[in-house]
Amino acid sequence: MNVTSISGKASKVLGMIRRNLWNCPIDVKVDAYTTIVRPKMEYACATWDPHFKKDVASLEMAQRKAARFCANNYHPTASVTEMLYDLDGLA
């Protein structure tokens, strides 16, 4: 239940960022994600350690949505893993 609420909050905040920063440069989007959304997902992660596959998938899905937004690449065949690696260098 806790992971579900955390991923839901992160998704809502990411939606707010997407609505307000859609026209900003990539570095601004990455900064907004790393300062606002990511701490919501990482807070006390050592104590709640998601061990169910559905919980891990929920958190991963929020991170992948953020990667697509920050890279501004929504093409269905684009590799989100590569986007995460590229954006990790910016953060």
The pLDDT value recorded for residue 91 is 53
Task: List the domain range (segments joined by +) for residue 21.
Answer: 2-90
pTM value? 0.80
Q: Alpha-carbon distance 75 to 58, whole Å?
A: 21
Q: How many domains does the chain have?
A: 1
Task: List the chain pLDDT tens, one digit each, 91 residues.
Answer: 578 888 889 999 999 999 999 999 999 999 999 999 988 888 767 556 667 888 888 888 988 999 999 999 999 999 999 998 888 765 5
Q: How far is CA 2 from CA 34, 43, 45, 50, 58, in A?
A: 21, 12, 11, 9, 12
